[in-house]
Structure 1
Amino acid sequence: MKVGAHVSISGSRVSSDDETPPYDDMRNAVHRQLAFGGNCGQVFTTSPQVWAQPELTDEAAEGFRSETEENLEGPWVIHSAYLVNLCTPKDDLRRKSKESMQAELDAAERLGIPYVNVHLGAHTGAGVEGGLDNAASLIDELDVPEGVRILIESDAGSGTKLGGEFSHLAGIIDRTETDIGICIDTAHTLVAGNDLTTPEAVDETVGRFDDEVGLEYLEYIHLNDSKHDVGTHKDEHALIGEGYIGEDGMRAIVNHPDLRDLPFALETPTEDGKGFAWNIEKVKELRDE
């Protein structure tokens, strides 16, 4: 099973014992993933709250690649900065979003990471069709390195944000000439109006996704429970099995024949003394042999 967490790269070193050599920032991610019991996962290459470029030395990139190859089984994915808005009609925000995405794609190539994950963003008045057109044209202006794929993440669907409906995901695939994929966030999918609380509901939702988007585009899953119910459009993650998706829904997701072989990255909170290690172990308990 490919399961892990969104881990931090912060700090000058992470060492579990005196025999472990100092880790630079990127190798912190591998070390933390192992400490949580994960074998794949997600990272920010820099602060997601500001417009900043990844700062990677050759040593850091080479170390991250070798540590990953030696210790992990599943693929990493880079999550783009929160400020990126592919759908925006505003020229300055579009330029900054394009520069940020290009920097992440270049970093992914240096790090040997096959995916860069991004939200479509908000159309802010351009309308759904206009927003999707804006996003597609921006994506097609990017220089995507060989071996790297952009993943569009499903959204909770509040306000003018796009990605909450499967038709938005299908729409961006249809519009772009770039080979893009999809990352489904289970919490976002639930609150956007798709039931995931029972095996029957999961099967129906997966079937609709396949009909509208195509399972061949689904590359990664953000596995999160939700503190809010179906159709509320409120994005707040919960511990695995302790939210509105619940244990039955989570068990159905991680065992579904069309989903079980995909990599799962957790973005769950730390609450009641339960952090990533607890959540990853919970996922493994829900998985059938």
Structure 2
Amino acid sequence: MDAPAADAFVIGCHLSSAKGYAAMAADAASIGASTFQFFTRNPRGGKAKTIDPADVAAFRTRADNAGIERFLAHAPYTMNPAAAKPETRAFALELLADDLVRMEHTPGQLYNMHPGCHVKQGAEAGIELIADALNQTLAPEQTTTLLLETMAGKGTEIGGTFEELRAIIDRVELHGQLGVCLDTCHVWDAGYDIAGDLDGVLEAFDRTIGLGRLRAVHLNDSKNPRGSHKDRHEKIGHGHIGLAAFERIINHEALRDLPFFLETPQDSLAGWGEEIALLKSLRS
């Protein structure tokens, strides 16, 4: 699939993959979304659903009809390549390798992962382990771009600073296969003032990582004050980041052409549809 047009507002939400790719495209279109995100398997881990070629073909038709050109697959939360236990790291490598193979059934898409938790080994050791996992699994022929997500820095999470993400990227041989997904709740909870100084945060990102690596944005308000390191998502405009900040985010020249994905707490597709309509009304 081709990249979205430069003036397109590409926005979607997190959908259930239980019914397959074609159903996700239909669900996205039903709420006015132009993209979507999904877990590659149960977010707590486990065996992934077998990919059906007929479903992939039906997805391509539905996606084309709905104008959906890009989606984001999300790795399970249990995938921790920085774990202290060798068996946990081996499990993470198995999941990551399997997911990247599966992604090639839908070429040219995005795959997002939480970098991992060092579990009291220290951030430097965790960074080395994450980079090692990526060096073992990334392939020069893959069409998927793997995104490292910005994190809130709770516990022993790696990725709570832009410097930690850059340290991972610097250690990966096929670093051209890597990008970053900026999560608004996570960076806020990590201490970055995206509400009061969005330009300053993006300038820091550019100096440290480079805006060219920023490939997607998770749009989430936060239940907590800035710097809380807690990672609790809130509906857009109902948290400490605030609606005015999201209007600036979706219209910022460095961000507006990226795909945006809602991960806000909702009980139904309709709730995300209302948020999408709200954000579309703020788009200039």
Q: Please show how residues 91-110 of structure 1 align to structure 2 within 5 Å.
A: 91-110=86-105
Distance 1:110 1:41 in 2: 17
**Are positions 1:153 and 2:121 aligned together?**
no
Q: Is the 8 A contact 2:151 2:158 kept in 1?
A: yes
Residue type at the aligned position of 1:110? H
1:49 alignment partner in structure 2: 44
Q: TM-score, normalised by structure 2?
A: 0.91
**1:25-55 Cα distance to aligned partner (Å, 9 max, x none):** 2211101111121001211232111322341
* Residue pair 1:167, 1:212 contacting (<8 A) in 2 also: yes
1:8 corresponds to which residue? 16
2:59 corresponds to which of 54, 60, 64: 64
Contact 2:154 2:230 in 1 (8 A): yes
Q: Which residue of 2 aligns with 1:280?
A: 276
Q: Is 108-117 or 25-34 further displaced after alignment? A: 108-117
**Seq. identity, %:** 33
Q: Counterpart of 2:105 in 1: which secondary structure? A: helix
Deviation larger for 163-172 or 104-113 = 104-113
CA deviation after TM superposition for structure 1 residue 111, in Å: 2.3
Query: What's the CA shift string for 1:64-88, capped at 9, x where partnerless?
Result: 2332233233410100011101212
Report the equivalent of 1:195: 193
Q: 1:90 Cα deviation (Å)?
A: 2.1
- In structure 1, distance between residues paired with 2:105 and 2:135: 21
Tell me which of 37, 51, 54 is aligned to 2:32. 37
Q: Determine if contact 1:47/1:81 at 8 Å carries over to the other structure.
A: yes
Gaps of 5+ in 1: 12-24
For residues 182-238 of structure 1, the C-alpha deviation after alignment (integer angstroms, 9 at most, x for no partner) is 00100001000001213xx11111111111111011001011111111000111111
1:118-162, CA deviations, whole angstroms, 9 ceiling, x for partnerless residues?
001100122111100000010010043521111000111111111
Contact 1:153 1:183 in 2 (8 A): yes
More divergent stretch after superposition (247-256 vs 109-118): 109-118
In 2, Cα distance between equivalents of 1:87 and 1:172: 11
Q: CA deviation at 1:271?
A: 6.4
Q: Measure the CA separation in 2 of the matches of 1:253 and 1:158.
A: 24
Alignment of 1:131-210 (within 5 A): 131-144=126-139, 145-178=141-174, 179=176, 180-198=178-196, 201-210=197-206
**Secondary structure of 1:152 counterpart:** strand
Structure 2 unaligned spans of 5+: 1-8
In structure 2, the CA distance between the partners of 1:206 and 1:88, relative to structure 1 (3 Å rule), is: same
Amino acid paired to 1:7: L
Measure how far apart 1:274 and its partner are.
6.8
The one-letter code matched in structure 1 to 2:250 is V
Name the CA distance, whole Å, in 2 between partners of 1:75 and 1:196.
25
- Among 263, 267, 271, the alignment partner of 2:259 is 263
Equivalent-residue separation in structure 1 for 2:118 and 2:255 (angstroms): 30
Q: Does 1:80 align with 2:75?
A: yes
CA distance in 1, matches of 2:31, 2:107: 22
SS at match of 1:284: helix
Q: Which residue of 1 aligns with 2:6?
A: none
Contact between 1:151 and 1:181, CA under 8 Å: does it hold in 2?
A: yes
Instruction: Report the TM-score, using the length of structure 1 for normalisation.
Output: 0.90
Residue 122 of structure 2: aligned partner: 127
Mean Cα deviation higher: 54-63 or 147-156? 54-63
Q: CA deviation at 1:269?
A: 1.1
